Amino acid sequence: MPATPEPYRLHVPDEAIEDLRERLGRTRFPDQAPGEPWAFGTDVEWMRGFTAYWRDGFDWRAQEALLNGFPQYKVPIHGIDLHFLHVPGKGAGAMPLLLSHGWPGSVFEFLDLIPRLTDPAAFGGDPADAFTVVAPSLPGFGLSFAPGQKRFGAEEIADCFAGLMTGVLGYDRFGAQGGDWGSFISSRIGYAHRDRVAGIHLNLLPLRRDPSMAGSPTPEERRYLEELKLFLKEETGYQWIQGTRPQTLAFGLTDSPAGLGAWIAEKFRAWSDCGGDVLSVIDRDRLLANIGLYWFTGAIGSSFWPYYARMHGPWPIPEGGTVDVPTGYCQFPTEILRPPRSMAERTFTDIRRWSVMERGGHFAAMEQPDALAAEIRAFFRPLRG
């Protein structure tokens, strides 16, 4: 018999909050490298101001209360205690939908998106499009982490989440949606558990990063291959250290909140559609809530494991394998990679919806929750029932 989920509420001890403030007050900042701000990583002056606000202005309890406004649970599954939000949709016909976040994200990414999916009528949508949303913390991330627990790659996470949806929650058929690692997980579920999913919706396409994949590229494919070449050269340093020496990096980021904040905030700036000003599109308090969850749970080191697993194991969709369930995709303009449909169709054989968005980037659920919710509703509308 599957285990019964137990209700959960997050409460960080006062002592932990005070310890964080003291550590932030003792931050030793590096000097600023010559050249343009942000050219070599997180800008020192920006980080000074961000750290000062984190120490003196940020209200963790307010963000904690926002998360606790959603029904949360923990359940023992696949050898860990898995944390998840389980938010009923408004109406009898609500479709079960699995939302999977990525790195360096958390369930805090979804706090604006979830109500738009569970109660679309409250946002001007059709109540017939409602979902019952299940949004787990990835194993090894945040509230799905405990010191010493086993590590998960994308394949194992997909199996765990499929087991949560069907074995624990009793949803025989469900939809899956995700970006970043969530796109790998959703795609793997579509591949390995195709009998359980009505369809998958992605806001990042997890294609093999093989520049030789197009022998005679079209102009659009050539554009993508140049984009990929630049990304591999300039933007993957974090992947190499997280994927080869995760334990070493974990010492610094587990001990220094400013170090952790700089490591994560730089990615939010680089990958969002912000024109260089990350706080213009990502709420500062929500960003700090996301960083704070990594800090208080001590989960940054374990959150690196999917990178290690990917670098030392096969691609989650085996070579020659395809994802044959109905697939939807929305391409945001500053997503880290934007493969053309011709390449995507070699892996995803049943693309039903392909949308090019006007604004937004990698953190679509935070940057453009209305647009992302509308796309998810439109894709799954004919797949209900």
pTM summary value = 0.96
Q: Rounded distance, CA 241 to CA 248, Å?
A: 9
Query: What's the CA angle centered on 206, arms 205 and 212, to 5 degrees?
Result: 105
Active site residues: 180, 308, 362
Give the Cα separation of 33 and 42 in Å (integer): 10
One DSSP character per residue, 340-382 reads -HHHHTTTBS-EEEEEE-SS--S-HHHH-HHHHHHHHHHHHGG
Q: Where are the domains of the chain?
A: 6-383
Residue 215 DSSP symbol: S
DSSP notation for 113-155: HHHHHH-GGGGTS-GGG-EEEEEEPPTTSGGG--TTPPP--HH
- How far is CA 65 from each of CA 49, 133, 288, 289, rounded to the nearest angstrom? 25, 19, 14, 11
Q: CATH number of the domain at 6-383, out of 3.30.450.150, 1.10.150.120, 3.40.50.1820, 3.90.580.10?
A: 3.40.50.1820
Q: What's the full length of the chain, in residues?
A: 385
334's CB contacts (< 8 A; 6+ apart) are: 271, 272, 273, 360, 361, 362
Print pLDDT tens along the chain (385 aa). 788 999 999 999 999 999 999 999 999 999 999 999 999 999 999 999 999 999 999 999 999 999 999 999 999 999 999 999 999 999 889 999 999 999 999 999 999 999 999 999 999 999 999 999 999 999 999 999 999 999 999 999 999 999 999 999 999 999 999 999 999 999 999 999 999 999 999 999 999 866 556 578 888 888 998 889 898 999 899 999 999 999 999 999 999 999 999 999 999 999 999 999 999 999 999 999 999 999 999 999 999 999 999 999 999 999 889 999 999 999 999 999 999 999 999 999 999 999 999 999 999 999 999 999 999 999 999 999 7
What does the alpha-carbon distance between residue 247 and residue 259 come to, in Å, rounded to a whole number?
Answer: 15
CA angle at residue 256 from 252 to 257, to 5 degrees?
A: 130
Residue 104, classed as helix, strand or coil, is coil
Please give the Cα distance from 81 to 74 (Å, whole number).
6
Give 373's contacts (C-beta < 8 A, 6+ positions apart).
113, 116, 117, 120, 123, 125
